[in-house]
A = this chain, B = another copy of it.
């Protein structure tokens, strides 16, 4: 059979070490030594082998290698949607740290479906990834026990695992929301709305909780009527806003749970012809160019990814200290030259 590189139709069979050995007239193991830069091969033989390798276009088959060696030098990343800006920065960081540790990155999206999440974990585990980074969809990962039991290192990002003792790297959502709320309270606001898009989502729950806690710490009443939890939908956001403005004690400021909510609320502001002081979770491009500029609580997805991946590689290297949860701080970026602090009704 033709095992050479370029000529003849069909998909040519790539050359193997055996082929190289045969053509070079040496033993298989000698080729292996040359390929892996191992000592014990005389310069002339080494040169000859290298020439044949180039001639045949030989490339080492890492799958066979893995079978022998045991480690794949690859990690997996599982999330809901690879297209989100937050995830995009996560991936960038994960890949970058991964390459530093000479590993490759396999990504998988679940679309928020728990079954696909399980399927992804199964597939990645079958491929013998050295470790897994998961931005989980749900609170529970019933399928994860087997993998953890098999010793697969796993780090959660953005959201924790509630039922497994696993490393997690999260944003300090609670503190971030508190910071935003306190800021608005400090400028005299008492009727602060919270626009969230999914009130069962961990990050959103934490943020609403921080908001709530900051309110009560300042003696401001928490009002269910000032919480909108369908803010992914622009229509629902507008309706909510109108309702809140029509209250006996109308809303005077707002916090949004993520950038989609911020977008939706900004559109609602435009629709009602009125702009309220607003602090949004997540920074977004051009936030400073809008009139007024939008203040935000900035998370740092790149850092989350970086820290998580570094932790993962420590686990892969054998670190068996107890699982830890790392919370990364947020930053309040004030924009709009004090808009946030405008007195009520201005």
Contacts and interface: CB of A to CB of B under 8 A. Distances in A.
Q: Is the interface of A mostly helix, strand, loop or mixed?
A: mixed
A67 B61 CA distance: 9
Contact of A125 (B59, B83, B285, B290): B59
Interface string A35-76: 000000000000000000000010111111011000010100
Given A105-B108, A259-B285, 13 more contacts: A6-B149, A59-B125, A61-B128, A62-B126, A74-B106, A83-B89, A91-B91, A99-B108, A104-B106, A104-B108, A266-B289, A285-B285, A289-B290
A291 interface: yes
Interface residues of A, number: 61
A222 interface: no
A150 interface: yes
A152 to B, nearest CB: 9
A95 interface: yes
Contacts of A34: none
A85 B82 contact: no
Nearest to A65: B126
Contacts of A57: 146, 149-150
Given A62-B128, A104-B123, A88 B83 contact: yes
25 contacts: A5-B150, A6-B149, A12-B150, A12-B151, A59-B150, A61-B126, A62-B126, A62-B128, A63-B63, A63-B66, A74-B106, A88-B88, A95-B107, A95-B108, A99-B109, A104-B106, A104-B127, A105-B107, A107-B107, A263-B286, A266-B289, A284-B286, A285-B285, A286-B286, A290-B290
